[in-house]
Chains A and B, each alone.
Chain A
């Protein structure tokens, strides 16, 4: 291969020396004939074709030498041959002609000639590949045989010492793949990416002309020409096709063919689309189709291109139909059948009662319009619940600020316009700039985004990089929003959504009940995927540019309160540094006086709950919000995740108004730490600095220092918590008396999270208590009992009692419960002592109302009742390993009383300790009487999630330090001893768990050491890839500060073995628990139950708790009846132990692969636990 390249490079060089043009071997092909007729034929004159014969006969070394010499002449200082590939002419050497950079490129300032050799090589490589492809596609043409150039030969003759040359070449061959060349390639790649992004950006803003101009600029400059790739031509052609400009499109095509690129599927799509638009005559279309067939492309493939909009598709079809009237659109292929576990969900037979919302169609439609309104506005001002009556001074300052804002707006506007003009000019000169990205939004909107960022900066500042990134992302999102809000998209969406609501509304009928996503897909063609976010480099550059403009423009007068006077002014945003380790982080801090003036809160539309049911997830980018794009973190994997996510999002919520009132009362009255309501910062401890005498000794001040630091830290934490609560409560207040929805997103392991970050059901006790189901259900016969049990669960008082004991406890406490419900703040305050006080209070009120209603069974309850997995991670491990002892201790086996795994482990540890104490181990004797549930709990809980001996020891050390009677000198030794015992006990009790963990870890280690990230497919068919890689760094220099973006998720980097290895067991278990949750969710949906989950905590109405328990257990059994580990091993083997075809693997590598294979085949043995027992276990989830 290498030889080929060299042979041709040298030959091409000589050819190029003679002719300034380029060889064009593709001129005489069908489509081109039709398109540009005789124009180009001239470039391949007969005499030239003659010349191209017999190129392969050149004596390689001579030519090589000639090239090296030539380059040496350019750079005398650099004598070593660095990047030359040594080669011999193979038998078929120089079959096809190649090109070399035109003569002009070589007349350069002296310098890196070696780089040019590399460049030649790359160019040739590319063209070679292309030619090969073409040769395959069409009838064999007699390949031109290049002839050695006379000049090159003449030059070569003067040089003796071929051996020395050979040596130099040999030496350099090794260095070829070295760092320098790869760096160079990376640089070129980056340039190519930027150009491609620029072109796409131009297209998105409708500036095809500029894109074309840029392409031509690159095309005409030989040094830049080599950066061009087919995708760039395709992009510009697509732009012209959308505009229906046929002539321009053809000129792009000519450029493309001139560089020797064959048109691919995308090119033909654009060509035909354009032909459809301009109503091209039949013969041309036909010729085009013929050429396409010759290139080995199918007509049907054109329509499978996903990125086409319906409108483009129509134009394309028009052209095709003209040439082939009887062409029929290929039917979308029927969807693959779901995995075995899900077949039941999709089964058509059997009883199906999908749940419906409680709202009629008309109301839902009105809600849709409200939500649309919010999203179109982009952001939403929300009134803060914290009301501070402002002083006269502040009022005046606010007034001045409002006036100031106007001037800022004007100034930003003109500044942006100036920047834009400047960039436009540079783009016209052929420099890739940010111009198209600045053009995506009109200046007014950019100004609004900028000012919003300014007003939302926290008082202590925000890292410059983050702000810049956020700003650019916001720009992108608004851009998509704008794109979607025009072009009739809104009408189409509204119509389709209205039809979709037919499935959910309370007063409509559908022909056949089905899952929301199926329904949505049946209602219309799939939408084209939204555009990908811009590359990070562009995002950061854009953000930086905008932010620097903002910093520059905004200035305050020295005093805001007084009338603004001309002259003296200070910046609003200060750029400060914080020094953290070797790093220096630039922050933007608003002026302290400016911060004090903030009055309202502003939320992005995507940070608010939705006002109508979210769109069903149909692809990884479409779903949730109506217009605003959110990116799914994990991959949907087709079937299972999308309906589950959709369903979780479809649950309607409302705010528990009575509780909100109570919380607000506490919140505005200095808060209460015990109840989780953060107090205001004014309550923070003050450093005792005031009493400090000025002549205090330094060592006394030194002692004060610690106290000062502590106070500051506390104050800052309090401020953070207070702000968080303020956001939550303000949103709750804003949404009071409304129904809203929480669209869900998924992380890479398949765990689901609600999108709105500030107000959702995932948060603390307070956050959960504020929410209840918007749709109520009558309690039914068992509902009240479940409410009471839930109440006792929330208090945390009777964790280890059986259900009936909890129920009778609730009955016994009924007096207190009613008292709490009636006089929460003035009565006996029983609820305040609970583990989760606010939820307890909400439950008390619900119980009270139910009991006081005439017929409790008919009482309509809105309160979510939780069912919690007991140490869910260990449950999955125990089921995987079929551990009898372990399974019993995490409630997989049926039992009369709930088992407590922590006490179990503590007891086992105690046994070991007693043994050691008898043997005379000092630590064991010291520890007598100190081992309890509390000491081991955290370690046991986290062991599933990969806590190490080191972390475990720290956890235990903390617990031991809390024990007042424990001799503190022994803490270190004792914690070390104990953590070993805990692990030993766990090994004893969950023998399977440890083996499985070990097996998973070791497999992951071997896989990532072989250079790949660990991947697997969950039993539901969701593919998962662990995104842990070595850090990659993106640095942008210049401007206000240089910006560095570190990312460990860049999949082009090597995997981070440590993280891959340690992350695999917990991630695998998380992927299993998410499977269990999704299965339960889908089956509940089929049964018509409301279902919401917080990972391993399932929520439903009180009347449905028994059903949900049943489904949950059933699905757990079904999930674990699958050969999960065997499937995993088989998948990993297929994926990572393929016998490599090239067989050129290094010895060490094959050994590695064998080791992995051996590891994968040794799937851990299973114990003898009978999985069916789970079905009878009351306390499995309770």
Chain B
């Protein structure tokens, strides 16, 4: 019963349920973990060397995906372009840039060369010695932390151990101070969305953003990310492209100013590596061009009616509205509030015969406001926060 497989420290697997958006962790059973009998060390930790590309065993597609962890820029030219874009102004010499999953550090080098301070959050232990070696001549401009950016601040705090960290413990040690929401942006984050769970990562960032927690408790952090073209199109879609218009589109467009910085970057300029730090030769998913985008949270995201306290009701409303696209908005309102839907739509100045995909994000915000002011007691929503809060 207590075989060696179970004696290993339990490995946590990230698994997010795309709908609800929160990260949630669970553990693979022993039987599943046993399957992962691949060589464990890709790089000896004592002497930093460039990674040799190793042949990966032929694995079934499914396992492949599970093993696969992240990607990073492999082309120095692309790295230089990105660094240039990030350092828009000359005075940005003393700016802090946080880089997630730098991998072999090609972008890190480029960033350091522009003179900025870089904090590298690397989830793979194997890369860390190599990354640290980059800092040798830069007198402390580079800080390397063993941390997984996309798993930071998990919702259940029982499982916090590197590379999962808490921002409130990590950031003070890095000397980062919080700015308030209305002040300037405190620092920049640059990275790539994990290739096979972009949606999960997008949801996690959204939750953090609307609750002003995790990195966003330090103010309106500028986020620069590589994202797949498809996903980006969905994010910026509106009623003009109803087939792409989506819950995420509404929530992101409301919360951030999004700007496309680079487009059609081929996936071949990136390298992917597995959980064990092995480089992947063949892309595990359909190769897709990447976009480099800028997301800056809006100052006016929160209003008197939409606050971090009731953001979850807004999220719920959006999910409900896009749940059955063919239904009219007025039918969805029946499931959202006991108030009279027609009155509310009139108040929000929305026509009665529209579908959810016919109206703009701002209209949803107005609709939310209309319901929020409809009555004083707590029976203006049918939403039940407690049943929603229960997470697996």
Q: Which residues of A contact B (CB under 8 A)?
A: 460-461, 568, 570-571, 574-584, 587, 589, 591-593, 689, 694, 697-699, 701-702, 704-705, 708-709, 712-713, 716, 948-950, 954, 957, 972, 976, 980, 983, 994, 997-998, 1001-1002, 1057-1058
Q: What are 6 contact pairs spanning A and B, CB under 8 A? A: A574-B334, A574-B335, A579-B20, A699-B180, A708-B309, A997-B1
CA of A576 to CA of B381, assembled, Å? 10
Q: State whether A716 touches B180 (Cβ < 8 A).
A: no
CA of A997 to CA of B2, assembled, Å? 11
User: Given contacts A581-B19, A581-B392, are A949 and B27 in contact (CB under 8 A)?
Assistant: no
CA of A998 to CA of B6, assembled, Å? 14
* B9 touches A (CB below 8 Å): yes
Q: State whether B338 touches A574 (Cβ < 8 A).
A: yes
Scoring B residues 356 to 390 as 1 if CB is less than 8 Å from chain A, else 0, what string do you get?
Answer: 00000000000000000000000100111111111
Scoring B residues 318 to 362 as 1 if CB is less than 8 Å from chain A, else 0, what string do you get?
Answer: 011001000000000011101010000000000000000000000
Q: State whether B1 touches A592 (Cβ < 8 A).
A: no
Size of B's binding interface in residues, CB under 8 A: 51
B298-333 CB contacts (< 8 Å) to partner A: 301-302, 304, 307-309, 316, 319-320, 323
User: Given contacts A574-B335, A713-B386, A976-B9, are A701 and B18 in contact (CB under 8 A)?
Assistant: no
Give 12 A-B pairs besides A460-B384, A577-B335 with Cβ atoms closer than 8 angstroms: A461-B387, A575-B335, A578-B316, A580-B17, A580-B387, A580-B388, A581-B392, A697-B180, A698-B308, A713-B389, A950-B27, A1058-B29
Of chain A, the residue at the smallest CB distance from B17 is: A581
Contact partners of A699 in chain B: CB under 8 A: 178, 180-181, 212, 217, 308
Pick the contact of B323: A568, A584, A712, A957 (CB < 8 A): A584
Q: State whether A972 touches B309 (Cβ < 8 A).
A: no
User: Given contacts A584-B19, A698-B181, A699-B181, are A579 and B388 in contact (CB under 8 A)?
Assistant: yes
Of chain B, the residue at the smallest CB distance from A459 is: B384
Q: State whether B335 touches A712 (Cβ < 8 A).
A: no
Main secondary structure of the interface of A (DSSP, over half): helix
User: Given contacts A579-B19, A713-B389, A949-B7, are A698 and B217 in contact (CB under 8 A)?
Assistant: no
* B182 touches A (CB below 8 Å): yes
Pick the contact of A709: B2, B180, B340, B389 (CB < 8 A): B389
CA of A704 to CA of B308, assembled, Å? 9
* B285 touches A (CB below 8 Å): no
User: Given contacts A950-B10, A972-B161, are A698 and B212 in contact (CB under 8 A)?
Assistant: yes
Of chain B, the residue at the smallest CB distance from A961 is: B158
Contact partners of B316 in chain A: CB under 8 A: 578-579
* B88 touches A (CB below 8 Å): no
* B185 touches A (CB below 8 Å): no
Contact partners of B379 in chain A: CB under 8 A: 592-593
Q: State whether A576 touches B383 (Cβ < 8 A).
A: yes
* B31 touches A (CB below 8 Å): yes
CA of A1001 to CA of B178, assembled, Å? 53
* B196 touches A (CB below 8 Å): no
* B211 touches A (CB below 8 Å): yes
Pick the contact of A694: B18, B304, B389, B392 (CB < 8 A): B304
Q: State whether B307 touches A698 (Cβ < 8 A).
A: yes
Scoring B residues 1 to 34 as 1 if CB is less than 8 Å from chain A, else 0, what string do you get?
Answer: 1100011011000000111100010010101000
Q: State whether B1 touches A998 (Cβ < 8 A).
A: yes
Q: State whether A570 touches B338 (Cβ < 8 A).
A: yes
Of chain B, the residue at the smallest CB distance from A708 is: B309
Scoring B residues 112 to 136 as 1 if CB is less than 8 Å from chain A, else 0, what string do you get?
Answer: 0000000000000000000000000
Q: State whether A701 touches B388 (Cβ < 8 A).
A: no
Q: State whether A582 touches B17 (Cβ < 8 A).
A: yes
* B274 touches A (CB below 8 Å): no
User: Given contacts A576-B335, A581-B392, A997-B1, are A698 and B302 in contact (CB under 8 A)?
Assistant: yes
Within the complex, the shortest CB–CB distance from B314 to chain A, in Å, comes to 13
Of chain B, the residue at the smallest CB distance from A953 is: B10
Within the complex, the shortest CB–CB distance from B245 to chain A, in Å, comes to 18
CA of A460 to CA of B389, assembled, Å? 13
CA of A575 to CA of B320, assembled, Å? 11
Of chain B, the residue at the smallest CB distance from A980 is: B7
* B213 touches A (CB below 8 Å): yes
Pick the contact of A576: B1, B2, B301, B336 (CB < 8 A): B336
Contact partners of A709 in chain B: CB under 8 A: 385, 389
Contact partners of A583 in chain B: CB under 8 A: 19
Q: State whether A1001 touches B1 (Cβ < 8 A).
A: yes
Q: State whether B384 touches A578 (Cβ < 8 A).
A: yes
Pick the contact of B390: A580, A591, A592 (CB < 8 A): A580
Within the complex, the shortest CB–CB distance from B336 to chain A, in Å, comes to 7
CA of A957 to CA of B158, assembled, Å? 9
Residue among A460, A589, A698 facing the most chain B CB atoms (10 A cut-off):
A698
Contact partners of B388 in chain A: CB under 8 A: 578-580
Residue among B6, B31, B158, B338 facing the most chain A CB atoms (10 A cut-off):
B338
Contact partners of B301 in chain A: CB under 8 A: 698
Contact partners of A580 in chain B: CB under 8 A: 17, 19-20, 387-388, 390-392
When A and B form their complex, which 10 residue pairs have the shortest distance between CB atoms, in order from nearest?
A: A581-B17, A702-B212, A702-B308, A592-B379, A698-B302, A716-B386, A698-B181, A576-B382, A701-B307, A701-B308
User: Given contacts A583-B19, A589-B382, are A578 and B309 in contact (CB under 8 A)?
Assistant: no
